[in-house]
Amino acid sequence: MADQHPLQLRSALISVYSKDGLEPIIRRLHELQVALYSTGGTQTFIEKLGIPSTPVEDLTGYPSILDGRVKTLHPAVFGGLLARREPKHLEQLQQYNIPEIDCVIVDLYPFEETVAASNDPAEIIEKIDIGGVSLIRAGAKNWKDVAVVGSKDEYGFFLDVLNNQEGAFSAEQRRELARRAFKVTSNYDIAIFNWFNEGTTDIAFKYSIHRSDMLRYGENPHQSGVFFGDFEQVFDKLGGKSISYNNLIDIDAAVQLMREFQLGKPAFAILKHTNACGIARRHTLLEAWTAALACDSTSAFGGIFITNTTVDLATAKEINKLFYEVLIAPDFDLDALDLLRKKEQRILLKIKSFDVRSRSFRSLLNGVVEQDTDLKTETEADLKTVTTRTPTPKEVGEMLFAAKCVKHLKSNAIALVKERQLIGMGCGQPSRVDALRQAIAKAKSFGFDLTGAVMASDAFFPFPDCVEIAAEAGITAVIQPGGSVKDQESVEACNRLGLAMVTTGFRHFRH
């Protein structure tokens, strides 16, 4: 069978938008005596290299027409790509004087880039590639007899095979190229659909959805998992093992958290099972890391680490002492990266942007719910003092820091903050009192003095008991959304105990 034997390339059709990285492929194909066919700008590019190439027009008998919309759409091209290498098909190729085409190399018009850069519908429409997609699909369909390159991202893989195997592609390699090629065309079609679909509520394709097979497994090893999204749009993966479902969930939580702290002094956060167990902001990254780790050095083991600034060598040396799953940063100094890469299983991600989608989805029962992403970050203008005592400027800053922290803990949630450090947290508890007691116990277990700390709650206090417990622990100021019919009872408790309280009007449940 043809698919059981290597395919030795004898001919290749090349029609690409991006020429970056193409030259070594052209030269290597020429060295291997592979006959080249090409179109338009690709033909000109090859000619400038001094390498012979047959224009597609010589195969079809037609020039490029309709402003380049039709160049390769012809039986003389697609017959050579789609013919199975078996007597019946080969006889038809010979009958109609159609050459076999063993390889097709395509890079599509940059549709998504054009959409991002232009508001001109006519310009965008012209970047919908027709012939290129058809060539890719034809070559991929006939992978048993054809090697297909569907995008410039595959140039490197293709060139490696050319160099290492003298242009002979195994069945496994041809099938892998076909798999990647169909991924290219499916993503391309989704991008086009999304543009036409703008303004609709079609959940399945609301956003640009790219299928990726990057997940090691689902939530547990016996569950398979696939990520639909463009991971590379957000991150450059600099090292480490492949990413699992749980990694991805935690990474998303980490990005959403650090989005709150991306500006200003160095900040460091440590997350475990999507909850922040350590957050701190300091004058240097090393100080921020040290303070974040001190919040809960036990839970930090095997956690997700994220910062808002470049990781330097001094900080990398300290981080490297602890086992972690993922480290995320806007950049890494080269010597820091060299050190961190020595732990080959630890995932290193360079984040390109802390932006998150304005809409979010979740599968429930036999459907999906869609909602606005919680992008609200409280500022001083949102604070309403409801107690007799007005918080000090320092307490206001601490409370705003605490509000950012509590927003990213599972409900019911309490965050205790002192000196821009999350010294205690309680989350996922059935009652707010339980969450507060957990936060106080955690803070004390790691040696923190709660005197002068502030408390943030993700939702209102239905009773004054949390305020009373907080005051007894030494907490002096409270930030909460308000909205309970019994708000005044908590306010009166603060007045009686000397605490300052502000309300924000914004609840931040996380279920």
Which tokens go with 216? Answer: 């090691």
Partnered with residue 272 across adjacent β-strands are 275
Locate the DSSP E strands across 336-484. Answer: 347-351, 359-364, 367-372, 384-385, 414-417, 422-426, 454-457, 477-480
Residue 425's region, left for phi above 0, alpha for psi from -120 to 50, else beta, is beta
Nearest-angstrom CA–CA distance, 72 and 339: 50
478, β-bridge pairs: 455, 501
Tokens encoding 406:
């509590």
Q: Provide the β-strand partners of residue 8.
A: 168
- Indicate if the alpha-carbon torsion angle 395, 397, 400, 402 is positive or negative: negative
273 is catalytic: yes
Measured distance CA(350)–CA(340) in Å, rounded: 13
Lookup result for tokens 């080249």: 36
Enter the tokens of residue 174.
């041809």
Neighbours of 158 (CB within 10 A): 21
Cα separation, 328 vs 335, in Å, equals 16
| Residue whose structure tokens are 């090697």 | 147
Please tell me which residue in 19, 74, 89, 141 is annotated as part of the active site.
141
- 75-82 and 131-141 helices cross at what angle (nearest 10)? 30
Q: Which of 89, 265, 273, 317 is labelled catalytic?
A: 273
Q: Residue 479 — left, alpha, or beta (φ > 0 → left; ψ -120 to 50 → alpha)?
A: beta
- Let me know if 283 is a catalytic residue: no
Which residues are catalytically annotated? 141, 273
